[in-house]
Amino acid sequence: MILQRMVLALCVIWFAAGCADSAGGGGGGFGSADEAAPNSSGGASTTGAKGSHGVTQAGAQDFGAFRKIIEQGKTPAPGVLDDLGFFAEHKLDYPKATCGDDLCMHGLVGTMNNMINGANCTLVQIGLNTPLDPATLPRPPLDLVLVIDTSGSMQGEPMTYVKEGLKRMLDSLEPTDKVSLVTFSTNAKVVVSGAPASEKLMLAQAFANLEPDASTNLYDGLYTGFQVAAKHLQPGRSARVVYLSDGVATAGMVQPGKLAALARAWAKKGIGITTIGLGTEFDMAAMRDVAEAGGGNFYFIDQPKGAGEVFQEEVKTAFLPLALDVKLTFAPGAGYVVRAVYGTHGWQGGPNGGIIEIPALYLAKRTDSKAPITAGRRGGGGAIILELVPLKGVSETGVGKLGLAYVAPKSGAAKSTDAKIDTPHKPGQVPAEGFFSAPTVEKGFVMLNLFAAFEMATQFAWDSDPGAALGVLEAIQKPAAAWAAKNKDPDIEDDLKYVALYAGILKNLQAQSKVNTPVVLPPDPWPFGD
């Protein structure tokens, strides 16, 4: 029964969209190698590189809802922790982007034992970065349509957060930008249509006048927002709908799938979307699906500073696609099979490989993995993960081959590159000190182990087994803390804060439970393949 419930892997192939401004963490007791994987684009440097910037894919950009539930002393439900959002809040540093194109790929590899139960891990980390600097790139004039939930549930803190965030956003707009404001409760209403961003006093007053009332008609709000965006759509300008809500549909069309279909249709006409959820009661799956269907971002905000950061980030970076129609392919070597894929909903394939399709990649905001975390979000990374299982009796060391193909937005030219991923070790062979072709692979390894621990603990707790859940968190806590202490990584340090909080919640559940389940370390759910 335990074996059946543990559906998440600790041993993976790992694709990451990172930024290379400073050196990645090294050592950590796992060891590292001196050379990058052969044939990887971008050189063999194992340190971060100034002048290279990260990229990110559309979809969830944080895991704030999961954190908020833990801060409230509750256990999250399975599905709240989105892998895309979790990885987006981890900055990974890569070699300098010297491939000669606007998008560079780096193939890196690591072999180690996982941090929860010591099972084998072969980890390939593919970094994407760019020589382009988002601070110096001119963005096109923006037609921004703000679609704001003003239903009764927005009363109090949620509306305070929104008003503060909208006010801060005004300073990030250019005089050539235009702003529209649509509110929705039982019905949608166009409050402002196509006002120049220079009319700050008028816009600030419109934001200040937002008042919650009545029920939540998600579809009418989104539909009206797209109609307003279409009215102002012009060549040479960027159109974006920012759609914010704290609840689920209680009026109008209530099927969540209709929202995603609407976003998908308008994305094909050149109108993108960003979705923002507040509180812990909103329809998270629907908001994430809408963002991904429309090739945009999804955020969770729980404090005024976070709200302002999200609005500002969207204005500055979300309208600069770096690559379009992105296709990532992977074919495993003879000694491996693909078990599962994380960090994307676009995977099509099976044990012998497949393809991941991403509508667009964007420039990431975050540039420094060592900057302390003070408040607000820490997003700006991203990852797609393929879990590999090693096979017995195979001596070939090739781990697999990756391919990248995309369309350059400015020229429309088709671009492609590939990388062969190799290791000096046979499938399933793990040196005592571990093997890493670059220090940043170690952070990817620790990060993924933490995600797996959160996910497994959540499933165990949901299955009324807080002892097994606590066993997983206690297993990851010590080795991850040791790595963070040596490498001084703010992301991992912040993760560990939530490991400790979650463990405290589970201990309370243990104390209150009529059935006191034992604290145990789970067995290996991914045995060595045949």
- Supply the pLDDT for residue 304: 56
Stretch 388-408: mean pLDDT: 90
Q: Residue 24's closest CA among 486, 399, 343, 379?
A: 486
CATH number of 142-319: 3.40.50.410
pTM given for the model: 0.81
Average pLDDT over residues 14-20: 36
Task: Check: CB of residue 147 under 8 Å from CB of residue 241.
Answer: yes
- The pLDDT-based confidence of 529 (bands split at 50, 70, 90) is very low
pLDDT at 155 over 90: no
pLDDT in tens, 291-326: 888 888 888 877 656 677 777 777 766 566 788 888
pLDDT at 530 exceeding the cut of 60:
no
Residue by residue, DSSP assigns 9-66 as: -SS-EEEEE---SSPPP--TTS---SSPPTT-TT-S--S--TT-EEEEESEE---HHH
pLDDT at 436 over 60: yes
Whether residue 376 contacts residue 309, with contact meaning beta carbons closer than 8 Å, is answered with: yes
More reliable by pLDDT, 317 or 57: 57
- The angle that helices 256-267 and 218-232 make with each other, rounded to 10 degrees, is 10
Residues spanned by CATH 3.40.50.410 within the chain? 142-319
pLDDT in tens, 167-198: 888 988 999 999 999 999 989 999 999 999 99
Q: Residue 46 above 60 pLDDT?
A: no
For the chain, the average pLDDT equals 80
| Predicted local confidence at residue 523, as pLDDT | 53
CB atoms within 10 A of CB 504: 14
Task: Quote the CA–CA distance of 385 and 335 in Å, as a whole number.
Answer: 18
Interval 349-397: pLDDT, tens: 999 999 988 878 887 766 666 666 655 556 667 777 778 888 888 988 8
